[in-house]
Amino acid sequence: MTNRIDAAFSRLQASGKKAFVAYVCAGDPTLDRTVEVVRALEQSGVDIIELGLPFSDPLADGVVNQMAAGRALAAGATMGGVLDLVRHIREESQIPIVLFTYLNPVYAWGFTKFHADAAAAGADGVLLLDLPPDEDGLNAELTTEGAALRRIRLIAPTTPAERMREIAAKSEGFIYYISREGVTGVQQTLATNIAEQVAQIKAGGSTVPVCVGFGISTPEQSHDVALAADGVVVGSAIVRIVEQHGHAPDLAQKLIAFVKPLVDAAKI
């Protein structure tokens, strides 16, 4: 079966549209409510879901996503529970799902076992924040040759051009370009050189789509990023809505009201 991430980008590119990727923390506020969150995001027009696996030490995340992980863990979220959540989502949706995680919980589960179990549950890709691509070749146990999950890679503003080419060559599904230094979180302004950085990533010959995130929170920012990249990634701003209304009966309506204008602005 064609990977859902690949199919989504093929469909979007054929229609001249940009992708909208939404991040939420699995289990925030509960695993059951996360199903409602994903459903609302899909109704808003989101193309790809990044599901964060809650972790006790999320060093790359800002306070909003750190607190979301804390709430999920306090509510009893586990690796097994998140995989069950993916299975539950698959009962009603075929939206592409990327599992966004750190290496520690994957390694504890079993690196090869995680990839097999996640794919069997219905996940389509994995983004391991703290596993550099060159480590794959140094550790045979960390290789995933032939795995069904697409390996999403990160590129940062500080990444040298040669390393950009190396990372892009090993990327699958899409490349996540972090538009600014630091941790995740809403920003008042966008970085000024996004278009140039995306062009540099593609200059190495990679045909993998480039999506840009970190700090996007308004329709105007979403539109501007879509002009420069193949897709827009929004996380903390959505997680904040879940934080504010996670236990409210109108959570889905709140999410749709916030996210749909962001999605519409990206569909240029």
pTM to 2 decimal places? 0.94
Q: What is residue 188's predicted lDDT score, i.e. its pLDDT?
A: 54
What's the average model confidence in pLDDT over 98-112?
95
What one-character-per-residue DSSP string does 125-171 give?
Answer: EEEETT--HHHHHH-GGG--TT-SSEE-EEE-TT--HHHHHHHHHT-
Does residue 183 carry a pLDDT above 50? no
- What whole-number percentage of the chain has pLDDT above 70? 93
Q: What is residue 134's predicted lDDT score, i.e. its pLDDT?
A: 77
Alpha-carbon distance of 24 to 15, in angstroms, equals 27
Does residue 98 carry a pLDDT above 70? yes
Q: Of the listed 6, 28, 47, 50, which one is catalytic?
A: 50
Q: What is residue 99's predicted lDDT score, i.e. its pLDDT?
A: 98
Task: Tell me which fold the domain 4-266 belongs to.
Answer: TIM Barrel (3.20.20)
Q: What is residue 65's predicted lDDT score, i.e. its pLDDT?
A: 94
Omega within 30 of 0 (cis) for the link into 29: yes
Alpha-carbon distance of 1 to 121, in angstroms, equals 14
Q: DSSP 3-state assignment of 175?
A: strand
Q: What is residue 182's predicted lDDT score, i.e. its pLDDT?
A: 47
Q: Is 50 annotated in the active site?
A: yes
Lowest-confidence segment of 96-100, 154-158, 226-230 by average pLDDT = 154-158
Alpha-carbon distance of 76 to 176, in angstroms, equals 29
| Contacts by 155-161, CB closer than 8 A, 24 or more apart | 155/201, 156/181, 157/181, 157/191, 157/193, 157/197, 161/200, 161/204
Closest by Cα among 95, 86, 127 to 11? 95
Q: Of the listed 28, 61, 172, 230, which one is catalytic?
A: 61
- What whole-number percentage of the chain has pLDDT above 90? 80
Q: Is 181 annotated in the active site?
A: no
Q: What is residue 14's predicted lDDT score, i.e. its pLDDT?
A: 97
pLDDT, tens only, 110-166: 999 999 999 999 999 999 999 888 777 677 677 666 678 999 999 999 999 999 999
Is-contact 159 139, C-beta < 8 A? no
Q: List the domain boundaries for the chain.
A: 4-266
pLDDT, tens only, 25-77: 999 999 999 999 999 999 999 999 999 999 999 988 889 999 999 999 999 99
Give the side-chain half-sphere CA count within 13 A for 8. 25
CB atoms under 10 Å from CB of 206, counted, come to 17
Does residue 210 carry a pLDDT above 70? yes
